Structure formats: structure tokens, C-alpha cells
């Protein structure tokens, strides 16, 4: 989780753009992939960034994550649309257990990648939503 202290330090160093690797907002998926931030924390940080001299706010999401479903990924996309970052990047999950030992656990079931990719490609349905990069 990116902290207010970190973004203040980056602003003091002259950084104006920031990219946040959120991956997914579903609590269960976050537990499985060892990432922990609440939706409220994410929303508060993104909304506070412009006042801290950060413009060009990017959010990274991933589809195909272990234990992620099409429904939970859609909910994450809907929530990110409400949070309104300037840009959204969507990446496919890479299973690399030799780099990330927690991926060796056999209980993790990945989300259907094609369905999730299809959802993210249809997602930006209005000009008020962030630009999507895949």
C-alpha cells in the first residue's frame, strides 16, 4: 500500500505523476496475492494526490489472478471508475512461483483470463472514465 508519507516524499523530490499497483480491490483476492489495501484507503489516497502536487495518477489492475472471479474483477473495475484515476492499466496475471513462493500453494484458482480481458476491453464506455492501457 502506498502511503501519504511516500507520496509527500515523491512530491518533495519533484515527482508529479504516480502509478499505483492496486491489482484488485477484492479482500479475498488480496489475501491470496499478499496485497493489502482497503477500498477506502485507495479512494482516499487517489483523491488526495492532486492536492499533494501529483497529476497524472495511474492505477494498475490485473486480471486472471488466483481466486479472482469475473464478478469480483467487474466490481473492482466499477469501483475504480468511481475513484476516477487519470489512467488505468490492465495486465494479465503471470504465474511465477520461482519468484513469488506464495504462488506455489495449490489452492489458488485463477480467474478465467479471456472473460476478464473482455470485460476490461469494454469497460471505458464514457469519456469521463480514465484511459485504459492493456
Report the predicted TM-score, pTM, of the whole model to 2 decimal places. Answer: 0.75
pLDDT at residue 31 is higher than 70: yes
pLDDT digits (tens, 9 = 90+) for 94-128: 777 777 666 666 555 555 555 555 555 555 544 45
Cell numbers describing residue 35? 496485497
At the topology level, CATH places domain 17-133 in Transcription Regulator spoIIAA (3.30.750)
CB atoms near residue 39 (< 10 Å): 17
pLDDT bucket at 80, cuts 50 / 70 / 90: very high
pLDDT score, position 125: 47
Residue 46's Cβ-side half-sphere holds a number of Cα atoms within 13 Å equal to: 27
Amino acid at each position: 500500500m502506498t502511503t501519504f508519507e511516500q507520496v509527500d516524499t515523491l512530491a518533495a523530490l519533484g515527482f508529479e505523476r504516480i502509478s499505483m499497483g492496486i491489482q484488485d480491490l477484492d479482500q479475498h483476492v488480496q489475501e491470496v496475492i499478499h496485497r493489502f489495501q482497503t477500498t477506502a484507503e485507495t479512494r482516499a489516497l487517489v483523491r488526495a494526490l492532486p492536492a499533494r502536487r501529483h497529476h497524472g495518477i495511474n492505477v494498475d489492475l490485473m486480471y486472471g489472478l488466483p481466486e479472482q472471479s469475473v464478478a469480483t474483477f467487474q466490481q473492482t473495475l466499477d469501483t475504480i471508475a468511481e475513484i476516477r484515476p487519470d489512467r488505468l492499466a490492465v495486465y494479465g496475471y503471470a504465474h511465477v512461483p520461482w519468484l513469488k513462493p506464495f504462488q506455489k500453494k495449490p489452492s489458488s484458482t485463477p480467474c478465467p483470463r479471456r472473460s476478464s480481458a473482455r470485460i476490461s476491453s469494454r469497460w471505458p464506455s464514457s469519456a469521463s472514465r480514465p484511459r485504459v492501457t492493456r
